Amino acid sequence: MAELFNWQITLPIALAALAFGYLLGSIPFGLLLTKAAGLGDIRSIGSGNIGATNVLRTGNKKLAAATLLLDALKATVAALLAAALWGQEAGLLGGFAAFLGHLFPVWLGFKGGKGVATYIGTLLGIAPAMVLVFAFVWLTVAKLSKYSSLSALVATLLIPVVLWLIGEPKIALVMAIMTLITYWKHKANIERLINGTESKIGQKG
């Protein structure tokens, strides 16, 4: 428990890691890719967010896959570069800030995506083995429920627990905060899940 509050990072380095991560995370790849492909402003269709799920609503699966990959990797790069420059704790803050940048990009009036891809990208940068845990949980819940949103919610809920159990309290704390934010961003999905109106995987319309 003591390790949870025993951070060695200095304030200037912490601020640098947060700023670097935020700016990298706030690059709106979904918006940039759809505009470059001549598909217009992704914010004008579907849920209005800039993530891969909404890009998929354009019907372009390759573009959605590219968005998913880039949204994940921007957090991974932020975590890895910050760690290389300033240490492991800086990497953790860099990944966290990239997650926030994706959700609240300064360039788009702080209205971004829901963060699942960037959540995974942060894990890849700071605790890569946990990506396998995330994938296993997501696939298991998806197979049983057919709900993509529920699968992501369950996976993000379990990740901090697993990290805590394997002795990574600092990472568990940061990922728990990210999980809470993810749930808040998915509040509409949660309401639809409760009401039985959430779309299932592969369901049209």
Q: pLDDT per residue over 172-192, tens digit each?
A: 999 999 999 999 999 999 999
Enumerate the domain spans of the chain.
Answer: 10-111, 127-205
DSSP code, position 107: G
Predicted confidence at residue 42, as pLDDT, reads: 76
Query: For residue range 49-84, what is the model confidence (pLDDT) as tens digits?
Result: 777 777 877 777 888 899 899 999 999 999 999 999
Predicted confidence at residue 47, as pLDDT, reads: 66
CA separation for the pair 34, 29 (Å, rounded): 8
Taking residues 117-144, report their average pLDDT. Answer: 96
What dihedral do alpha carbons 139, 145, 146, 149 form, nearest 10°? Answer: -80
CA separation for the pair 34, 198 (Å, rounded): 25
Residue 183's contacts (CB-CB under 8 Å, 6 or more residues apart) are 153, 156, 190
Is the pLDDT at 141 greater than 60? The verdict is yes
Query: For residue range 8-53, what is the model confidence (pLDDT) as tens digits?
Result: 899 999 999 999 999 999 999 888 888 888 877 777 776 667 777 7
Query: pLDDT category, 97, cuts 50, 70, 90?
Result: very high
**CB atoms inside a 10 Å sphere around CB 167:** 9
Is the pLDDT at 204 greater than 70? The verdict is no
Is the pLDDT at 2 greater than 60? The verdict is no
Token output for 136: 């296993």
Taking residues 111-130, report their average pLDDT. Answer: 94
